[in-house]
Amino acid sequence: MTVFDSAKRKTLGLTLGVAMGALAATASFAQETTLRGASMFDENHAFTKTMRKFEELVDEYYDGDVTFDLRLNGELGVEKDYVNFLQQGVAIDYTIMAPSNMAKFAPSIPLMDMPFLFRDLDHWNKVLSSDAFAPLEAELLANADIMVVGYTGGGVRNLVSSKPIGNLDELAGHKMRVMGAPIQAQIFAALTAAPSAIAYNEVYNAIQSGVIAGFENEAASIQNLKFYEVAPNVTLTKHTITVRPIVFSGKTFRNLPAALQDAIKKAGAEAGAFGRALESSEDGIKLQEMIDAGQIKVQEFAGREKLLEMVIPVQDAFAADIGATELLQAVRGM
C-alpha cells in the first residue's frame, strides 16, 4: 500500500465519520419537538389539569425529546379561535373544547354534546369508553383536519340566571346564551326559552347589561370565571353531562415521528379517562363550595320529566338531518 493510498483511506474515514456525526446530530434534532397547547382557564381548572396529564403521559410513552408549551387563561383567544389554529397547524397543536365550537366544519359532531342525550354518569362514561362516536370523529378529521385523541368532560350543565327560573312558566321567553351549534338553540327553543348564540367571553357583560338574563354551564366554569356575580341563580335542569374532546391538529400530527404519534394516541385516551373521573367528582364539590360561600342559590326544576319529553322530537329530527339516526339510537340503547 502506498502512502497515497493510506492517506486516501484516512481521508475517507474522516469524511465518513463527519458525515455520520452530522446524520446523528440531524436525527437528534429531528426528535426535538415542541407541542403547543391552549386552555381558557388557569392551572386549577379540570381542563388544564387534564392537559397536564396528557403532557405527562406523552412524555412517559415517548423516548424522544418533546417540550410542551401550554398557554393558559385564554391567552390565545377562545375556543372558536382554537379551531382555526388547529386546522392550520399554527399556534395550537392540542386543546380541549366543546363539540359545538367545531360544528361549522363538522355539522354532526354536536350530537355528542346534545342536551338530554345521557341518562346519567354511568351511561355517559359507557358511551365515551366505547367507539360509538367514531363516525363523528371521522367527519371532523375529514372536514376540519382535527383529530379526537380522547374524551374528557363530566360537568353537569344547569341553567344559570340573574333571576330564578324554576319551572316551565318562568322558562318561557327566558333570554339565554347557548353555544353556537344550531341543535343547542333548537333544544332550548323547544322548551320555550329564547336562546341566542353569544361568544363565551361576552357572556358576563351581556348578563350584566341585560342583553340576556342567563346562560347554561357547569359548576367549574361558573366558579372559575365568577359568573355568580351577575347570575347567582342555578336551576338543576341537569340537561347535559359534558363531552369535551381532547383534540390535536391533523396537520401537526402527520409531521411527527411515528413513535410520538403512537404516544399521543395512547396518552389522549388515558388522559381523557383521568379528566372524566376528575371533573365528574369535582362538579358537585364546586357547586357546594359556591353555595356555602353564599355566591349562588340553587333550586330544582319543577316538572323536569316534561322537559325530557319535549326535546325528543328535536333530537330525532336533528339526528335524521345529519344521517345519524342509527348512532343516536345506539347511544340511547347503551
191, 310 contact by CB (below 8 A) = yes
Average pLDDT over residues 197-205: 94
The Cβ-side half-sphere exposure at 124, using a 13 Å CA radius, reads 28
2 pLDDT higher than 70: no
Q: Which pTM was predicted? A: 0.78
CA–CA–CA angle 226, 232, 237 (5° rounding): 105
Q: 295-307: per-residue pLDDT in tens?
A: 999 999 999 999 9
Integer Rg of the chain from CA: 24
Average pLDDT over residues 210-235: 96
**Which three three-digit cell numbers place residue 325?**
339516526
DSSP 136-171: HHHHHHHHH-EEEEEEEEEEEEEEEESS---SHHHH
**Which three three-digit cell numbers place residue 275?**
379528566
329 pLDDT higher than 80: yes
9 pLDDT higher than 50: no
Select from 3.40.50.150, 1.10.150.130, 3.40.50.300, 3.40.190.170 the CATH code of 16-333.
3.40.190.170
6 pLDDT higher than 80: no
| Confidence bin at 20 (pLDDT 50/70/90) | very low
Cα separations in angstroms, 177 against 99, 181, 185, 239: 16, 12, 9, 15
Q: 255-292: per-residue pLDDT in tens?
A: 999 999 999 999 999 999 999 999 988 889 999 999 99
Neighbours of 123 (CB within 10 A): 15
Q: 122-137: per-residue pLDDT in tens?
A: 999 999 999 999 999 9
